[in-house]
Structure 1
């Protein structure tokens, strides 16, 4: 085992036609993203029934028995238990946790096993086929990714980036090139040397500047609205689609309710601001009894917050 991998377990292992894997998909999660990652896996399998998929889940969480429910699908699932101590000292501004760094170790762990791997954030939903990734030639690039048009150009230039800026939530990774150029080691030096607003994403953009193949935003569409042509919907932002207060998440809820994780409740508001948002949502949808309930809860939560 290498320095950041404790052990790996084949949680689900299926025999595939001709022994071939059509696509390798990687996720990197902590305990906060177990259910969302399950919904993501389910959505991928529902829309790619003709593909043999090997899922690689990189995590520091041991409670992943729920993924056994995916045995009925024609896929493989391998769990890689990571050493949390290796990542816990790295910078985590705002709402981020050290889990944002797990993805950086993926090529190092999968080297000599796979040529390319599709990394996907757990707050993503698949609504189309992923087969097109097999047609993308990244032999001369480190990754294929989607440009993040939400970034301000002045901020990109301030990072020292001359080209485009990509979103790291979906990356089709060239494993051999990543490892041969020591991207992991270079990343660790950089992220320990500078303070970033988006540590993993900013540092990767600096290291991979002008070495990224940019692909259609249908592979990393940043909201559910106007996503008819999308393959992958990325729910960027702090309010996630598994929150009761979230809106514009109908597609996500449809897959959530069909998935093996449907009995796990959506997240209830844990702040008075979220409670108010949920109350407004119920009022907008003319669910007045729920509106009154959550507006009263909002008032109680707000009073308790001000008393502290």
Structure 2
């Protein structure tokens, strides 16, 4: 079949899936209105992997874990989180040697049961996040979802996670991997560097801060002597040991406290990260964060992939693939997210 035929056939399947997803979204919730998910396939270690970690929903931090993954969990984005976990396990060579560290501020019992039922072989623990840690520091931004306290939990991982998790891969909930996360986790971090992420130096960096910030030499000199480039905080390799040593959480909080007194930025939790880390990170190939697939923060229109190879697709922005599927208005690239969706459907597409 020619390439155009494959694309047309794929998009036709996506439209069929979209109709099924809309039905599933209405039917999958229980009497309490929370979503229900099916069990994911079982994935096994390849030869040469470390020994499998014991499955547990209250796992102790394991020094023998090949990769430590950190994510946040909440009801609103749980469908995306489940797909992200599914994609990580499906594409790694050593799925039984990966340990997940989840952070949640509510519904922890339900989240614990849901993860256990869908991934019975997973080694994980959910760490409670106290919203009051950050709620008094949050300033309103251009999109309400960016103002949720849990959106700032990534800044507190060094406090929340045990010392055993020295290096973690932090992942947002609106992404899927199509490559082995072990390759991302092994990104070299030079001495003195606590964070690695794809950098985008062609982005307009000045737009992330207000004119008041740039016109004040005492503030703008924060970037003096470093080549500050935009990076997306939805995919990061973090050295939490170095993070603790350098008190980076406290440095981020200082900028947030200043933002409460005078508005120096507009976009949620990202600018404080840029203020502390931009120009001071290890670069990662762009393939590990094909971001922006959710469109901008206002309209969430469809976008294409960036040029180059793809290891991770990230629906950052307003438009989320599950919401567009449920609404019956999917973007073409949402077809790449749909196979990882574990929302429990009342019928199988194959049987329809």
So what's the TM-score if we normalise by structure 2?
0.65
Q: Does 1:88 align with 2:135?
A: yes
Matches of 2:207 and 2:287, distance apart in 1: 25
- 2:197 aligned with 1:145, yes or no? yes
SS at structure 2 position matched to 1:168: coil
Q: Which residue of structure 1 lines up, in the alignment, with residue 246 of structure 2?
A: 181
1:36 pairs with 2:80: yes
Q: Which runs of 5+ in 1 are unaligned?
A: 1-9, 266-308
Whether 1:221 and 2:290 are equivalent positions in the alignment is: yes
1:252 aligns with 2:304: no
Summarize the Cα distance change of 1:236–1:134 in structure 2 as closer, same or farther, 3 Å threshold. closer
Structure 1: how far apart are the matches of 2:243 and 2:207? Answer: 26
Following TM superposition, by how much is the alpha carbon of 1:32 offset from its aligned partner in structure 2, in angstroms?
1.2
Please state which structure has a larger fraction of its residues in strand. 1
Retained in 1: the 8 A contact 2:73–2:104? yes
Unaligned runs of 5+ in 2: 1-55, 294-302, 348-352
SS at match of 1:32: coil
Return the alpha-carbon distance in structure 1 between the equivalents of residues 152 and 243 of structure 2. 15
Q: Does 1:58 align with 2:103?
A: yes
Q: Which has the higher contact order (CA 8 A, sep 6+)?
A: 2
Question: SS at the partner of 1:31?
Answer: coil
User: For residues 254 and 229 of structure 1, what CA distance do their matches in structure 2 show?
Assistant: 20
- Structure 2: distance between partners of 1:226 and 1:21: 32
Partner residue in 2 for 1:197: 266
* 1:107-126 to 2 correspondences below 5 Å: 107-126=158-177
**How far does residue 29 in structure 1 lie from its aligned partner after superposition?**
3.2
Match in the other structure for 1:232: 312
Match of 1:67 in 2: 115
1:274 matched residue in structure 2: none
User: Are the counterparts in 2 of residues 59 and 82 from structure 1 also a CA contact under 8 Å?
Assistant: yes
Could you say what secondary structure the match of 2:269 adopts? helix
RMSD over aligned Cα, in angstroms?
2.7
State the alpha-carbon separation in 2 of the partners of residues 55 and 237 from structure 1: 25
- 3-state DSSP of counterpart to 1:242: helix
- Residue 263 (structure 1) shift: 3.3
Cα displacement (A) at 1:185: 1.1
Give the distance between the partners of 2:171 and 2:334, measured in 1 at CA. Answer: 18
1-structure distance, mates of 2:127, 2:202: 32
Secondary structure class of the residue paired with 2:88:
helix
The answer to whether the 8 A contact 2:197-2:283 is kept is: yes
Q: Partner of 1:297 in structure 2?
A: none
Deviation at 1:23, TM superposition (A): 0.2
